[in-house]
Amino acid sequence: MKQYLDLCQRIVDDGVWIENERTNKRCLTVVNADLTFDVANNEFPLITTRKSFWKSAIAELLGYLRGYDNAADFRALGTKTWDMNANENQAWLNNPHRKGHDDMGRVYGVQGRSWQKPDGTTIDQLRKIVDNLSKGIDDRGEIMTFYNLGEFDLGCLRPCMHTHTFSLLGDTLHLTSYQRSCDVPLGLNFNQIQVFTLLALMAQITGLKAGKAYHKIVNAHIYEDQLALMRDVQLQREPFASPQLIINPKIKSLEDLETWVTMDDFEVVGYEHHEAIKYPFSV
């Protein structure tokens, strides 16, 4: 929690105002932030200085792991986070590749599970990683990347947290996740939950111990209409101790994640938090 608050304070103190053309808003911005999460000791990085809707963040992650391309499928899992980008972003609404209401196009999980090759076949990046790690193999290329430049025009948004690299040291699995662009008040609250949970889940389904998750962020920003709430409300609050994430131990394979897992298979214990804060969302 301290890492998160330090980054927020750093943006407030040292950020530079940058005009953003896509959203038509200014963002107070810093570059280069490194966060580390201790998954081995289950220090779940849930924001405590406001209420965090953590189930929504895990639902989003599960949707990516399943390769979903539709905001309705995300809603069915328990999150509305893709509604706006799928249905209210004018550039995407005008895009001839959009397949109708709720379509997100070839973003995130679509790339993770079915990256298209020139010959028409597809690559399942996640399946390969799970298979290798389950056999104790780390080929130094256990990488799942959603960053497919050749297909940016086929999706509603370029991926923000775009690459996840898994590393095996003995029987302990670590994760390094890269994020090119980070809406710190809204997005990071979710993204750090996702980095932590991705490592915990991958360790569980491959029979490995979970170690550390490293979260590397390039452009970290606060939108102009979020700044007062962050500076004058959230940053004035004292954080509480980290809660713990409990994952149903019956989840044992990628097929389990793809078929029967729901948000009821995740529980958080010891979550003490301040009141919710409603930050504006920029489409």
Ligand X SMILES: Nc1nc(=O)c2c([nH]1)NC[C@@H]1CN(c3ccc(C(=O)N[C@@H](CCC(=O)O)C(=O)O)cc3)CN21
CB atoms within 10 A of CB 10: 14
Instruction: Indicate which residue of 8, 27, 156, 160 is catalytic.
Output: 160
Tally Cβ neighbours within 10 Å of residue 27.
24
The residue type found at 3 is Q
Q: How many residues bind ligand X (CB under 6 A)?
A: 13
- Binding of ligand LAUPNLSC at residue 187 (CB under 6 A)? yes
Using CB positions, name the residue nearest to ligand LAUPNLSC. Answer: 187
Tell me the window of 8-16, 171-179, 182-190, 232-240 that interacts with ligand X (CB under 6 A): 182-190
Find out whether 132 is annotated in a ligand binding site.
no
- Per CB under 6 A, 181 contacts ligand LAUPNLSC: yes
Q: Which stretch binds ligand LAUPNLSC (CB under 6 A): 86-94, 176-184, 226-234, 267-275?
A: 176-184
What is the spatial distance between Cα 182 and Cα 162, in angstroms, rounded to a whole number?
11
160 is catalytic: yes
- Residue 156's binding partner among ligand X, ligand LAUPNLSC, none (Cβ under 5 to 8 angstroms by kind) is none
Q: Could you tell me where the DSSP H helices lie in 116-252?
A: 125-134, 189-206, 227-228
Write each residue from 189 to 208 as x if it is in contact with ligand LAUPNLSC (CB under 6 A), else as -, in one continuous string.
--x-----------------
Site string for ligand LAUPNLSC, 3-22 (x = CB under 6 A): -------------------x
Q: Using the 8-state DSSP alphabet, how is residue 240 labeled?
A: P
Contact at 8 Å (CB) between 252 and 283?
no
| Residue 279: CB minimum distance to ligand X, A | 6
Q: Is the dihedral of CA 140, 145, 147, 153 positive or negative?
A: positive
Q: In whole angstroms, what is the distance from residue 99 CA to residue 77 CA? A: 21
Read off the tokens for 132. Answer: 């290798």
Helix (H) or strand (E) holding 72: helix 71-77
Cβ partners under 8 Å of residue 43, min gap 6:
37, 242, 244
> Where do contacts with ligand LAUPNLSC occur on this chain (CB under 6 A)?
22, 157-158, 160-161, 181-183, 187, 191
Catalytic machinery residues: 160
Q: Which residues line the annotated binding site for dUMP?
A: 22, 180-183, 191, 221-223
Annotated binding site: 22, 180-183, 191, 221-223, 282
